[in-house]
A and B are shown apart, each in its own frame.
Chain A
Amino acid sequence: MNSEVAEAVSTGPGGREREPAVEVHDLTVAYHTQPVLWDVDLVLPEGELIAIVGPNGAGKSTFLKTILGLIDPITGWVKICGAGYRRRRSWVAYVPQRESVDWDFPTSAVDVVTMGIYGRLGWFRRPRKHDRELALECLDKVGIADLADRQISQLSGGQQQRVFLARALAQQAQIYFMDEPFAGVDATTERAILSLLQELRNQGKTVVAVHHDLHTVAEYFDHVVLLNMRLVAAGPIRETFTEENLQRTYGGKLTVLTQATEDLLRARAGDPSLQQPTGPPPGQS
Chain B
Amino acid sequence: MSSTLVILLVGGCVAASCALLGCFLVLRKMALMGDAISHAVLPGIVIAFLLAGDRSTLPMVLGASVLGVITVFLVEIGTRSRRLQEDASIGVVFPALFSIGVILISRYAGQVDLDLECVLYGEIAYTPLDLLYWGDRVLGPRALWINGSILIAVAAFLFAFYKELKISTFDPALAAALGFSPVLLHYLLMTMLSITIVGAFESVGAILVVAMLVVPAATAYLLTERLATMLALSTALGVASSTVGYFLARVLDASIAGSMAVVAGIFFATAFLFSPSHGLVAKAARHRRLGLGMAEQLLMLHIGQSSEPRSGQVSRGCEIDTLERRFNWRPSKLQKVAKRLERQGWLDRVQEGRLMLTAAGAEALERTGQAPLTHALQAED
Chain A residues packing against B (C-beta within 8 Å): 25-26, 28, 30, 32-35, 38-39, 73-77, 229-230
For this complex, 25 residue pairs linking A to B, each with C-beta atoms less than 8 Å apart, are A26-B298, A26-B327, A28-B294, A28-B298, A32-B287, A32-B381, A33-B287, A33-B291, A33-B294, A33-B377, A33-B381, A34-B378, A35-B374, A35-B377, A38-B372, A39-B301, A74-B295, A74-B298, A75-B298, A75-B326, A75-B327, A75-B328, A76-B327, A76-B328, A77-B326
Is the beta-carbon distance between B326 and A30 smaller than 8 angstroms? no
Provide the residues of chain A in CB contact with B291, threshold 8 Å: 30, 33, 74
Nearest-CB residue, chain B, relative to A30: B294
Is the beta-carbon distance between A75 and B377 smaller than 8 angstroms? no
Nearest-CB residue, chain A, relative to B82: A104
Nearest-CB residue, chain A, relative to B301: A39
* B371 located at the interface, meaning its Cβ lies under 8 Å from any Cβ of chain A in the complex: yes
Centre residue among B287, B327, B329, B377 by max chain A CB count within 10 A: B327
Known: A32-B381, A33-B380, A34-B378. A77 touches B328 (CB 8 A): yes
Report B22 CB to chain A, min CB distance, Å. 28
| Contact of B298 (CB < 8 Å), options: A32, A33, A39, A77 | A39
Name B343-378 residues within 8 Å CB distance of A: 370-372, 374, 377-378
Is the beta-carbon distance between B326 and A38 smaller than 8 angstroms? no
Whole-angstrom distance between the alpha carbons of A114 and B287 in the complex? 41
Provide the residues of chain A in CB contact with B301, threshold 8 Å: 39
Whole-angstrom distance between the alpha carbons of A73 and B192 in the complex? 49
Report B327 CB to chain A, min CB distance, Å. 4
Is the beta-carbon distance between A26 and B290 smaller than 8 angstroms? no
Nearest-CB residue, chain B, relative to A102: B85
Whole-angstrom distance between the alpha carbons of A5 and B326 in the complex? 38
Report A157 CB to chain B, min CB distance, Å. 17
Report B315 CB to chain A, min CB distance, Å. 19
Whole-angstrom distance between the alpha carbons of A28 and B293 in the complex? 13
Provide the residues of chain B in CB contact with A38, threshold 8 Å: 371-372
Chain B residues packing against A (C-beta within 8 Å): 286-287, 290-291, 294-295, 298, 301-302, 326-329, 370-372, 374, 377-378, 380-381
Provide the residues of chain A in CB contact with B378, threshold 8 Å: 34
Main secondary structure of the interface of A (DSSP, over half): strand
Provide the residues of chain A in CB contact with B329, threshold 8 Å: 75
Report B187 CB to chain A, min CB distance, Å. 28
Nearest-CB residue, chain A, relative to B327: A75
Is the beta-carbon distance between B326 and A33 smaller than 8 angstroms? no
Nearest-CB residue, chain B, relative to A72: B328
Report A62 CB to chain B, min CB distance, Å. 14
Nearest-CB residue, chain B, relative to A33: B290
Centre residue among A33, A39, A76 by max chain B CB count within 10 A: A33
| Contact of A25 (CB < 8 Å), options: B298, B326, B377, B381 | B326
| Contact of B371 (CB < 8 Å), options: A30, A33, A230 | A230
Whole-angstrom distance between the alpha carbons of A28 and B327 in the complex? 9
Provide the residues of chain A in CB contact with B290, threshold 8 Å: 33
Is the beta-carbon distance between B326 and A26 smaller than 8 angstroms? yes
Whole-angstrom distance between the alpha carbons of A77 and B291 in the complex? 18
Provide the residues of chain B in CB contact with A33, threshold 8 Å: 286-287, 290-291, 294, 377, 380-381
Known: A26-B327, A75-B328, A76-B327. A34 touches B377 (CB 8 A): yes
Centre residue among B294, B295, B301 by max chain A CB count within 10 A: B294
Nearest-CB residue, chain B, relative to A36: B372
Q: Kindly list 6 other residue pairs between chains A and B, CB separation below 8 angstroms, not including A35-B374, A75-B298, A76-B327.
A: A26-B327, A28-B298, A33-B381, A39-B301, A77-B328, A230-B371
| Contact of A26 (CB < 8 Å), options: B287, B302, B370 | B302
Whole-angstrom distance between the alpha carbons of A39 and B374 in the complex? 14
Whole-angstrom distance between the alpha carbons of A216 and B290 in the complex? 40
Whole-angstrom distance between the alpha carbons of A30 and B380 in the complex? 14
Whole-angstrom distance between the alpha carbons of A235 and B358 in the complex? 35
Nearest-CB residue, chain B, relative to A37: B372
Is the beta-carbon distance between A74 and B371 smaller than 8 angstroms? no
Whole-angstrom distance between the alpha carbons of A25 and B287 in the complex? 24
Report B285 CB to chain A, min CB distance, Å. 12
Report A215 CB to chain B, min CB distance, Å. 29
Report A203 CB to chain B, min CB distance, Å. 33
Nearest-CB residue, chain B, relative to A230: B371
Provide the residues of chain A in CB contact with B370, threshold 8 Å: 39
Whole-angstrom distance between the alpha carbons of A59 and B301 in the complex? 21
Provide the residues of chain B in CB contact with A76, threshold 8 Å: 326-328
Closest 5 A/B residue pairs (Cβ): A33-B290, A75-B327, A77-B328, A35-B372, A38-B372
Report B192 CB to chain A, min CB distance, Å. 34
Report A40 CB to chain B, min CB distance, Å. 12
Nearest-CB residue, chain A, relative to B325: A77
Report B325 CB to chain A, min CB distance, Å. 8
Whole-angstrom distance between the alpha carbons of A141 and B38 in the complex? 55
Nearest-CB residue, chain B, relative to A32: B381
Provide the residues of chain B in CB contact with A75, threshold 8 Å: 295, 298, 326-329
Provide the residues of chain A in CB contact with B381, threshold 8 Å: 32-34
Whole-angstrom distance between the alpha carbons of A163 and B286 in the complex? 44
Nearest-CB residue, chain B, relative to A73: B328
Provide the residues of chain B in CB contact with A34, threshold 8 Å: 377-378, 381
Provide the residues of chain A in CB contact with B294, threshold 8 Å: 28, 30, 33, 35, 74
Whole-angstrom distance between the alpha carbons of A132 and B285 in the complex? 52
Report B298 CB to chain A, min CB distance, Å. 6
Report A73 CB to chain B, min CB distance, Å. 8
Nearest-CB residue, chain A, relative to B380: A33
Whole-angstrom distance between the alpha carbons of A38 and B286 in the complex? 20
Provide the residues of chain A in CB contact with B295, threshold 8 Å: 74-75
Whole-angstrom distance between the alpha carbons of A35 and B326 in the complex? 18
Whole-angstrom distance between the alpha carbons of A51 and B148 in the complex? 65
Whole-angstrom distance between the alpha carbons of A26 and B378 in the complex? 22
Report A166 CB to chain B, min CB distance, Å. 27
Whole-angstrom distance between the alpha carbons of A75 and B370 in the complex? 16
Report B336 CB to chain A, min CB distance, Å. 14
Whole-angstrom distance between the alpha carbons of A32 and B286 in the complex? 10
